[in-house]
Chain A
């Protein structure tokens, strides 16, 4: 059974938390204008660099390994997602259910071993 009344506080909390943090971001902007602290100038508004104008666009292409980490993360996250219902229904599903999950884990461990041997988990 799902008790939806338990989720309503979360929704209210979400509204309050967003309101609170927006207030924290936008109030000082108003306050700074009132107190006169708000004095933008071109040099102040440039992005951080070590004393010279930036040579190139900051958004450069980066190493493909970041994608690989993200993909491996998705796969293991899904594996964990399959483990969640299993962990709370172990009593009902018995040894058969346990063995099923062990086969599933073995499949994924095979993948992990492959990734390991291929060096996909290495950062040099």
Chain B
């Protein structure tokens, strides 16, 4: 993009700056639009599974429902409880939303189409997603109310527990890709299975990791069946109970942006990102822009997320912790041993 601006006769430094800001807006604004549409899609999918109609009043097929909701909350009064810590109470949604946006800086949308092509892209994502827990803890604590506080404690313990297994699962990917750069990870998947398929997920050794990562990403984003943080029969509305107006909506936006991010990570890390699924040029696979492939994969994973939410009953907290610490953690540790041993025997055998 920088070159385009230079060709328009701009100073290279300015061109870079303008191109960067355009890139950021090209990520942030469509992301917010996508979040609005994905909330609508989510509601439609649950409705379809439950044999209901879902939102169908605002706009054609109810497509504008999320925008109507957005306008409504925007015009509402922001209530700050008297007993709350005002500063932290308002900072919490800002943290949640900022963190949800920021992680997208290193996601590759196409070959080389990434805002910040850093060496440690995957670590950056881990670092940013580990900040998400602060939005939750702070909102719960600053509300100074019983239910948000309980919910925040539950949510933070849940998030950090699954971050552990996510960290170990990602090491399997890094071992195979031999890089932390997101673009390199995608490129390492070209022709991964005997030169035929473009995905780590088709590797028998990596497939269990892909499944564990999908489940962990459900838990990390507190989606059903792991949505104990807002188990409404016990905790009212979770850590956002005291919030209203746009600061409430920011939690929603942040949550769905994180869900989208997790879908994207599933697609990028295990299922080939912007690559077409097969490495054969029978149909002109490679002529379809990579962005389309990536978006198709993201939407597929989002559908899986909604599907799971509509069908699977909620876990109990002890079952959730057991799954994280006693199932995923040992298995991912064993898998690190298996994968690295296999690579030592085959790829680095010389």
Q: What's the Cα separation between A80 and B336 when bound, in Å?
A: 11
Q: Is the CB of A84 within 8 A of B174?
A: yes
Q: What's the Cα separation between A37 and B241 when bound, in Å?
A: 20
Q: Is the CB of A16 within 8 A of B28?
A: yes
Q: Any chain A CB within 8 A of the CB of B113?
A: no
Q: Is the CB of B74 within 8 A of A31?
A: yes
Residue of A nearest to B121 (CB): A6
Q: Is the CB of A122 within 8 A of B318?
A: yes
Q: Any chain A CB within 8 A of the CB of B101?
A: yes
Q: Is the CB of A25 within 8 A of B246?
A: yes
Q: Which of B75, B115, B241 contacts A9 (CB 8 A)?
A: B115
Q: What's the Cα separation between A105 and B79 when bound, in Å?
A: 50
Interface residues of B in 71-106 (CB under 8 A from A): 73-84, 90, 93-94, 97-98, 101-102, 105
Q: Any chain B CB within 8 A of the CB of A52?
A: no
Q: Is the CB of A2 within 8 A of B119?
A: yes
Of B23, B161, B249, B325, chain A has the most CB atoms within 10 Å of the CB of B325
A40: chain B residues within 8 A (beta carbon)? 77, 79
Among B36-44, B175-183, B276-284, B297-305, the stretch in contact with A: B175-183
Q: What's the Cα separation between A60 and B68 when bound, in Å?
A: 39
Interface residues of A in 21-47 (CB under 8 A from B): 21-22, 24-29, 31-32, 35, 37-40, 42, 44-47
B11-25 interface mask toward A, CB cutoff 8 Å, 1 = contact, 0 = none? 000000000110111
Given contacts A21-B97, A28-B75, contact A80 B167 (CB under 8 A): yes
Residue of A nearest to B95 (CB): A21
Interface residues of A in 86-124 (CB under 8 A from B): 87-88, 90-91, 94-95, 98, 101-102, 105, 108-109, 112, 116, 121-124
Residue of A nearest to B149 (CB): A58
Q: Which of A17, A45, A95 contacts B82 (CB 8 A)?
A: A45
A58: chain B residues within 8 A (beta carbon)? 83, 143-146, 149
B105: chain A residues within 8 A (beta carbon)? 9-10, 13
Q: Is the CB of B24 within 8 A of A13?
A: yes
Among B48-56, B196-204, B208-216, B337-345, the stretch in contact with A: B337-345
Task: Return B164 CB to nearest CB of chain A, in Å.
Answer: 5
Q: Which of B160, B178, B336 contacts A70 (CB 8 A)?
A: B160
Of B74, B93, B246, B249, chain A has the most CB atoms within 10 Å of the CB of B246
Task: Return A87 CB to nearest CB of chain B, in Å.
Answer: 4
Q: Any chain A CB within 8 A of the CB of B322?
A: yes
Given contacts A17-B28, A88-B174, contact A38 B77 (CB under 8 A): yes
A27: chain B residues within 8 A (beta carbon)? 74, 246
Of A29, A47, A88, A91, chain B has the most CB atoms within 10 Å of the CB of A47
Q: How many residues of A contact B (CB 8 A)?
A: 69
Q: What's the Cα separation between A101 and B336 when bound, in Å?
A: 10
Q: What's the Cα separation between A76 and B163 when bound, in Å?
A: 10
Q: Any chain B CB within 8 A of the CB of A20?
A: yes
Q: Is the CB of A94 within 8 A of B348?
A: yes
Q: Any chain A CB within 8 A of the CB of B271?
A: no
Q: Any chain A CB within 8 A of the CB of B330?
A: yes
Q: What's the Cα separation between A31 and B75 when bound, in Å?
A: 7
B168: chain A residues within 8 A (beta carbon)? 76, 80, 83
B141: chain A residues within 8 A (beta carbon)? 59
Q: Is the CB of A37 within 8 A of B326?
A: no
Q: Is the CB of B102 within 8 A of A28?
A: no
Q: Which of B24, B82, B329 contacts A16 (CB 8 A)?
A: B24
Q: Is the CB of B77 within 8 A of A39?
A: yes
B27: chain A residues within 8 A (beta carbon)? 13
B336: chain A residues within 8 A (beta carbon)? 83, 105
Q: List 8 A-B contacts (CB under 8 A).
A: A8-B20, A9-B105, A13-B102, A25-B90, A83-B171, A87-B171, A88-B174, A88-B180
10 further A-B contacts with Cβ under 8 Å, apart from A45-B81, A47-B242, A77-B167, are A3-B119, A9-B116, A13-B24, A13-B27, A16-B28, A20-B97, A42-B82, A45-B80, A47-B81, A80-B167
Residues of A within 8 A of B (CB): 2-3, 6-10, 12-14, 16-18, 20-22, 24-29, 31-32, 35, 37-40, 42, 44-49, 54, 58-60, 62, 66, 69-70, 72-73, 76-77, 80, 83-84, 87-88, 90-91, 94-95, 98, 101-102, 105, 108-109, 112, 116, 121-124
